[in-house]
Structure 1
Amino acid sequence: MIVATAANAQDVPATQTTDPAAAATGGDTTGNDIVVTAERRSTSLQRTPVAASVLTGEDLVRKSVNGVEGLQFATPSLTVNTTGQGNAFNIRGIGKTEQSSSVGVGVITYRDGVATIPGYLQTEPYYDIASVEVLRGPQGTFAGGNATGGAIFITEQNPTLDRVNGYALAQYGNYNNVKLQGALNIPSGDTLAIRFAGNFDKRDTFYNVSGPWTGNPGNREDYSARASILWQPDSHVRVLLKGDYNNIDYGGLPAGLATSKGDPLNVANNAPLSGGDKFGRIVLNASYTFDSGLTLRSISGFQKGTTHVSLDSDGTAAIGTPRAPANNFRDNITEEVWSQEVNIVSPDGGQFTWVLGGFYQHDNITIPPNGGYISDNTPNSINPLVFDTTIEGTNPKTQLAAFGQVGYEFIDGLQLQVGARWSRTTSANDAVARAILPFLPTPVLSLVQKDKTVDKKLNGKVALNWTVDRNNFFYAFVATGAKQGGLNGPNVNGIPPRAFDAEDVTDYEVGYKGTFLGGRLRTQLGGYYSEYENYQINIVDPINPGISSIFNVPGKTKLYGVEASAQASFGKLNLDLATSVSNSKLPTFFASDPRLGTTATVCNPTTGPATPRCTDLTGQEQAYAPKFTLSAGAQYAIDLGDAATLTPRIDYAHIAPTFGTLFQNTALGDRLEARNIVNAQLTLAKDAWSIAGYATNLTDQHYVAAINGFRRLAGAPRQYGIRLSRSF
Structure 2
Amino acid sequence: MYKSIKMLSAHGLLMGAIGKVGGITVIGCVGAGYAGMSNASGESMAPGAAGGALEEVVVTARKREERLQDIPIAVTALAENDLIQRGVTGVAELSKSVPNFTVDSQSSVGGMGMRGIVNVTRNIGFESGMGVYVDEVYVGRPAAFNKNLVDIAQVEVLRGPQGTLFGRNTIAGAINITTKNPGDELEGNIRTTFANHDSSRISAAVSGPIIENTLYGRLSVLLDNREDDYIENSAGPDIGSVRERGFRGKLRWVPRDDLEIALTVDSTTTEGASNVFELSEIGPEAPPGFSIPTPEMRQPNVTQQDFMSRDDRDTRSGSLRGIWDIADDLTLVSVTAYNEVNFEVLSDNDSRGVSLSHSSFNDDSRQFSQEFRLQGVLSERWDYTAGLFYLDQKASAERSSTATAPMNPLTGDPLTRAQLGPFFPLFVVGETNNAGNTVAPIGNISSSAEVRTEALAIFASSDFDLAENLTLNTGLRYTKEEKSLDFIQDNTSFTLHPDVVSRPGIDDGAWSGNLSLTYILDQTTLYGSISRGYKSGGFNPDIVPSGDEIVFDSETVWSYEAGLKAELADGRARVNAAVFLTDYDDLQVQRLAYTPVGKGFAITNADQAEIWGVELEALFVPVNGLTLGASIGYTDPIYKEFKECASGPGGSNAIDCDGNQLNNASKLNASAAVQYLFSIGDPGQVYVRADWSYRDEVFIEPTNTGRTRVDSRELVDARAGFYSSDQKWELAIWGKNLADKEYVHTVFYIPTFDITSSLFDIGRTYGVDIFYNF
Of 342, 348, 355, the match for 1:306: 342
Deviates more, 1:693-702 or 1:532-541: 532-541
The aligned counterpart of 1:390 is: 446
Q: Say whether 1:58 aligns with 2:81.
A: yes
CA–CA separation in structure 2 for the residues paired with 1:221 and 1:702: 24
Within a 5 Å distance, the mapping from 1:536-685 to structure 2 comes to 536-539=588-591, 546=598, 548=600, 550-569=602-621, 570-591=623-644, 593=646, 599-602=649-652, 611=653, 614-666=654-706, 668=707, 670-685=708-723
Asked if 2 retains the 8 angstrom alpha-carbon contact of 1:500 and 1:550, the reply is no
Asked if 2 retains the 8 angstrom alpha-carbon contact of 1:660 and 1:671, the reply is yes
Give the 3-state SS of the residue equivalent to 2:142 in structure 1: coil
The aligned counterpart of 1:222 is: 244
Give the 3-state SS of the residue equivalent to 2:309 in structure 1: strand
CA–CA separation in structure 2 for the residues paired with 1:133 and 1:492: 38
* AA of the residue aligned to 1:556: Q
The aligned counterpart of 2:529 is: 477
* AA of the residue aligned to 1:395: V
Query: CA shift at 1:23, angstroms?
Result: 4.1
Give the 3-state SS of the residue equivalent to 1:259 in structure 2: strand
CA–CA separation in structure 2 for the residues paired with 1:633 and 1:493: 48
CA–CA separation in structure 2 for the residues paired with 1:13 and 1:121: 23
Query: CA shift at 1:409, angstroms?
Result: 0.9
Deviates more, 1:137-146 or 1:257-266: 257-266
Within a 5 Å distance, the mapping from 1:134-213 to structure 2 comes to 134-161=157-184, 163-188=185-210, 189-205=212-228, 207-213=230-236
Asked if 2 retains the 8 angstrom alpha-carbon contact of 1:374 and 1:390, the reply is yes
Of 379, 383, 386, the match for 1:356: 386
CA–CA separation in structure 2 for the residues paired with 1:434 and 1:119: 26
Q: Say whether 1:268 aligns with 2:308.
A: no
Structure-2 change in CA distance of 1:492 and 1:627 (3 Å): closer
The aligned counterpart of 1:450 is: 503
Asked if 2 retains the 8 angstrom alpha-carbon contact of 1:271 and 1:326, the reply is no
Give the 3-state SS of the residue equivalent to 1:600 in structure 2: helix
Q: Say whether 1:694 aligns with 2:734.
A: yes
Asked if 1 retains the 8 angstrom alpha-carbon contact of 2:116 and 2:635, the reply is no
The aligned counterpart of 1:372 is: 399
* AA of the residue aligned to 1:562: V
Within a 5 Å distance, the mapping from 1:230-309 to structure 2 comes to 230-251=252-273, 253-259=275-281, 262-309=298-345
Asked if 2 retains the 8 angstrom alpha-carbon contact of 1:6 and 1:35, the reply is no
CA–CA separation in structure 2 for the residues paired with 1:578 and 1:228: 35
Query: CA shift at 1:293, angstroms?
Result: 2.7
CA–CA separation in structure 2 for the residues paired with 1:526 and 1:92: 12
Deviates more, 1:688-697 or 1:428-437: 428-437
Give the 3-state SS of the residue equivalent to 1:616 in structure 2: coil
Scaled by the length of structure 1, the TM-score of the pair is: 0.89
The aligned counterpart of 2:29 is: none
Asked if 1 retains the 8 angstrom alpha-carbon contact of 2:168 and 2:535, the reply is no
Structure-2 change in CA distance of 1:303 and 1:378 (3 Å): farther
Give the 3-state SS of the residue equivalent to 2:119 in structure 1: coil
The aligned counterpart of 1:327 is: 357
Identity, in percent, stands at: 22
Structure-2 change in CA distance of 1:430 and 1:213 (3 Å): farther
Query: CA shift at 1:535, angstroms?
Result: 1.9
Structure-2 change in CA distance of 1:457 and 1:99 (3 Å): same
Asked if 1 retains the 8 angstrom alpha-carbon contact of 2:402 and 2:493, the reply is no
Deviates more, 1:428-437 or 1:271-280: 428-437
Query: CA shift at 1:719, angstroms?
Result: 0.9
Within a 5 Å distance, the mapping from 1:453-468 to structure 2 comes to 453-468=506-521
* AA of the residue aligned to 1:55: L
Q: Say which one has the larger Rg.
A: 2
Unpaired runs of at least 5, structure 1: 320-324, 439-443, 603-610
Deviates more, 1:80-89 or 1:540-549: 540-549
Asked if 1 retains the 8 angstrom alpha-carbon contact of 2:368 and 2:393, the reply is yes
Of 487, 508, 512, the match for 2:560: 508
Query: CA shift at 1:375, angstroms?
Result: 4.4
CA–CA separation in structure 2 for the residues paired with 1:717 and 1:155: 31
Query: CA shift at 1:243, angstroms?
Result: 0.8
* AA of the residue aligned to 1:460: G
Give the 3-state SS of the residue equivalent to 1:317 in structure 2: coil
The aligned counterpart of 1:116 is: 139
Query: CA shift at 1:74, angstroms?
Result: 2.1
The aligned counterpart of 2:761 is: 715
Give the 3-state SS of the residue equivalent to 1:346 in structure 2: strand
Of 12, 16, 30, the match for 2:16: 12
Structure-2 change in CA distance of 1:590 and 1:55 (3 Å): same
Structure-2 change in CA distance of 1:245 and 1:399 (3 Å): same
Scaled by the length of structure 2, the TM-score of the pair is: 0.84
Q: Say whether 1:524 aligns with 2:576.
A: yes
* AA of the residue aligned to 1:209: E
Of 449, 457, 482, the match for 1:426: 482
Query: CA shift at 1:419, angstroms?
Result: 0.8
Give the 3-state SS of the residue equivalent to 2:503 in structure 1: strand
Deviations along 1:559-618, one digit per CA (max 9) or x if unpaired, are 001111122345322232211122122123244558x8xx4335xxxxxxxx4xx33321
CA–CA separation in structure 1 for the residues paired with 2:276 and 2:101: 25
CA–CA separation in structure 1 for the residues paired with 2:106 and 2:146: 12
Of 369, 393, 405, the match for 2:461: 405
Asked if 2 retains the 8 angstrom alpha-carbon contact of 1:311 and 1:329, the reply is yes
Asked if 2 retains the 8 angstrom alpha-carbon contact of 1:217 and 1:253, the reply is no
Asked if 1 retains the 8 angstrom alpha-carbon contact of 2:694 and 2:712, the reply is yes
CA–CA separation in structure 1 for the residues paired with 2:734 and 2:632: 24
Query: CA shift at 1:186, angstroms?
Result: 2.1
CA–CA separation in structure 2 for the residues paired with 1:253 and 1:213: 17
* AA of the residue aligned to 1:509: E
Query: CA shift at 1:494, angstroms?
Result: 7.8
Deviates more, 1:225-234 or 1:27-36: 27-36
Query: CA shift at 1:31, angstroms?
Result: 6.7
Unpaired runs of at least 5, structure 2: 1-5, 23-37, 283-296, 407-425, 430-439, 750-755
CA–CA separation in structure 1 for the residues paired with 2:744 and 2:544: 34
When the two structures are aligned, how many residues end up with a matched partner?
A: 692
Structure-2 change in CA distance of 1:274 and 1:146 (3 Å): closer
* AA of the residue aligned to 1:397: T
Query: CA shift at 1:496, angstroms?
Result: 5.9
Query: CA shift at 1:635, angstroms?
Result: 1.4
Asked if 2 retains the 8 angstrom alpha-carbon contact of 1:536 and 1:550, the reply is no
Structure-2 change in CA distance of 1:683 and 1:58 (3 Å): same
Q: Say whether 1:488 aligns with 2:510.
A: no
Deviates more, 1:488-497 or 1:533-542: 488-497
Query: CA shift at 1:11, angstroms?
Result: 4.1
Query: CA shift at 1:254, angstroms?
Result: 1.8
Asked if 1 retains the 8 angstrom alpha-carbon contact of 2:239 and 2:273, the reply is yes
Structure-2 change in CA distance of 1:378 and 1:153 (3 Å): farther
Structure-2 change in CA distance of 1:263 and 1:52 (3 Å): farther
CA–CA separation in structure 1 for the residues paired with 2:524 and 2:172: 27
Structure-2 change in CA distance of 1:108 and 1:544 (3 Å): farther
